[in-house]
A and B are shown apart, each in its own frame.
Chain A
Amino acid sequence: MQVQTITRRVDPHLAIDLYDPEAELLLLHFGPQHPSTHGVFRMDLYLDGEIVVKVVPYVGYLHRAVEKLCEKLTYAQITPVVDKNDYVAPMTNEQAINMAFEALLGIEVPRRARWIRTIFAEMQRIASHLLWLGTFALDMGGALGGGSTVFLHCFRERELILDLFEDVTGARFHYNTHTVGGNRHDIPAGWSAKVKAALDVIASRLPEYASMTLENRIFIERTRGVGILDGELALELGVTGPILRASGVDHDLRRDAPFHAYDEVKVNVVTRSAGDCLARAQVRLGEIEESIRLVRAMIDGIPEGIINAGRPIKQPAQFKIPAGQVYVGIETPRGELGTYVIADGTANAHRLKIRPPSLHALSALPHILPGATVSDAVVILGSLDPIMGEADR
C-alpha cells in the first residue's frame, strides 16, 4: 500500500465556532440508553431544528479494563476474556490474540488448523454481517415495522451458523476454541455437509434481503448520499474494513497481508467508491456472498493432519513467552483488529494493547455527522457497525 500524506484538518470539535453564534442550539444527549446506539454509545448532538450542527461522541460506558485484565492473566487464560470484546464476532477475537502469541513463540500452526480457522472466520463474517444488516434495518424501520421483519429474518439465518459453531465447540457464542498453536476442537464427522446445507439456505435467501433493502426504494432514499466519508479521511482516521472499502480504498488484510490460509485461496475484495451508507450496505452484502463462496470452496479441501502444534488436546495451564514484542493485525468483519503484545519472559504479558476497528470507525462520526438530520444520524451510526464491547474494551 502506498504511503498516504496526512493533511491537517480543522478539528470538528472546534468547528462549531464557525457556526452562527446567535443561533440557539438544542443539545440532545443521544444515548447511552438510547435504543439505536448499538450498545452503550453516547453522543451529544447539537441541533438546529433537526439538523445536526456538531457532535461530540463519548465512548467508555462499557469499559471493562480488558487490556489490564489480560496483563494480569496468564497467556492461556486470555482467550475466553477477549471473546467478549467483539461479541458479534468472537471467533476473530480469539484468533487475533492467539496469533500474536504464536508469532512471539515462533509456532507454526498446522495447515489443517489454519484452514479451519479460515472457515470459522468467514462463517463468522457471514453471521456478523447478517446481524449488522438486521440492526441497520431496525435503525431505519423501527422495532415495530419493516425493520424488525428484516431483523428477524437475518437472525433466522444467523442461527444456522451459530448452530454449526455449536456443533464444533459446544458454545453458540464465546467459543474459546482457539489456543496457542492451533485449535482446541476438531470438526466433527458430517459437519461439512451441514455447512454446505446451511450455506445453500443463506445463499438462497440473499436475494430476499436485497429486495427488502438494497433494491427497496425507501432504503435507497434513506442511505444514498448520507454520511459520505471520503477515502483519504478514512485512511487518516484509521478506519478499516467494509467502511474503508465502501469509500473506494481497496484494502483488505485477507488479500494484502494473508494470515490463516488466505494465501492458499483467492479473496475477491468487494469495493464501492461512493462512501455513503448505501455503499457500506452494498459492500457488506457483497462480502456475505464472497464469504459463502470462500467457505464453499474450502470446506471440501480441509487438509488432514493435526489441529494443534503443541500437545493436541490439552494446553499447559501456564507457559512463558520469551521477551519481545509483536503486532498482529487480522481482518475481522469490522476491519483491522490489531493486537500488540510486549512480553517480558514471564507467563504474563507486560503490556497488551488491542486495536479495535469499531473505535476508529466511531472516530469518523464528528466528520460525517454535521449537516445530517437526527434521522440520518441514526442511519450513519448504524452504517459504521460499531460494537461497543470492542470499542470500549
Chain B
Amino acid sequence: MTEDNRFFDLGKTGLTRRTALKGLAAGAGLMAAPGFVRYSQAQSSAPIKIGFQAHRTGIGAAYGRWYEKTTNAAVKLINDAGGINGRPIEIIVEDDGTDPKRGAEVVGKFASQHKTDIVFGTLFSHVVVGSAPTAGELKIPYYVVSEGYHVASGKLNRWVFQPGITDVRAQVTSVAPWIAANIGKKVTMIYPDYAFGYDHRDYFAPAIKAQGGDVIAQIPIPPTESSFTKYLPQIPADTEVLYHVMVGPGVLTFVKELGEFYGSNKPQLFGFIDSLEAVDINSPGLEFLDGSHFWEGSPRYAQANDSEAQKAYRAAVGIDDNGASVGDAKDVSTAAHMFGCWETLYVIKKAMEDSGYKGPEDRAKLVEATEALTEFKEGPEHPQGDKIFNGKIHQVFGHQNISKVEGGKLKVVHRTSIEDGMYEPEADYTTQPL
C-alpha cells in the first residue's frame, strides 16, 4: 500500500493516493480519511472517481503541491456533507511530470485503467493542450484549472472545461482600465516567450489602447534564460508602467535585477502574481516591489472585508492570514490560483447533480449539464466571488483583484467587475458532436 509515502511527502494529506493497484479494493484508500462514511458495494453508492492530473514533479511542482492540498480540502468537505448524489468522491492522483506527453498518457490511464468518471485539475497550459486530444477521443470530461486562453479560444474540444478560474484574456482585459487610470498609459511589457506570454501580449495591448494608452515596447524572454539584466536596457526611458509577468524559478532573479538596475528611480510596476506564487513577498531582494501592484485571482493575504466563505475556505485549506501554511509560515501557498480547484469541484458537483450522473455512460449528459450552467453565486462553494459561465466557450468569468504591496503584505486596492473582463466569444463548442 502507499501509506508510507508520508516520508516522501510532496504535500498531500492522507486522503489522496492511487487505489488502483491490482487487487486492491477501490474503497480501501478512502477509509484512511478521518470522519469518512464507508459506503456499501451497490453501484449507486460506490464512489465517484475523479482522476486528478497533478504536477508533482517537473517545473509545475510548486503549484501542484497546493493544488493537491486545496483539492483534498474541498473533497473532504463535499464528502462530509454527503458527497455527490449521495456518493462520495474518490480522488485518484497521477503525476504528469508537467509534461504534455506524459499528460496525455495519464489521461488515457485515468479513462481506461483507473476508469475514473472524469479528469480534473491540470494547471500548465502545454499539459492541458497536450492532453486535450486524448480526453476528446476517449470522451472523458476534462476540467482544467489552468487560466490559459486555450479553452475559450475554441482550439480544444467539447470535452474540455475551465469553470473554476478565469482565463488570461479576461484578466488582462479587466485590469487595463485600472492601469491606464491610476498608474500610467505608456506601458512596456516583459513576458516569457511562450504561449502564456503570448496571451498577455495579444490581449493586453488592444485593451490598453482602448483606454487611450499604448504599449511602447514588448520584451519576450526565452524560457532558457536565468538572468535578465542584459535585457533591461531595452526598456524605453519614457516607460510609465513596467508590466511584468514571468513564471518559473527565475522570477526572483528578475525582480532583484530590476531593483539593482533601477534603484529608487523606477517606473510604476504592474505584475501578475504568477511570478511570485509560492514565494514569500518578504524574501531578500524583493524589497524593490514595495509600493508596486499585482493582479491576484484570489488574494493571498487575508483582507479586512473577507467574507465568511473566504474565511472558511482559508481555514479548510489550512492557510493563515499571510497565505502561508498554518503549520509553517515559510511555506507560502499559490493562493491566487488554487481556489480554482475548490470552485471547479463544486461546479462538477453541481453539473453531476443536475444531470443525475450515474456513471461513465452519462458522461455526455454531464458535458451538456456543464454547458447549461450560467452563473455561480459567491458563497462557501465559490469563496472567490460570483462567476458567470459561458457554456459555448466552456469558460468562466469572474472578478479580478488588484493588490498593492504595502508593509510586506498584499492589500487589495481594486476589485474589477465581471463585465470588465468579458469579451466577444470566438467559438462555440456546443456545435461539436458528442
The answer to whether A and B belong to the same complex is no
Residues of B that sit less than 8 Å from A by CB: none
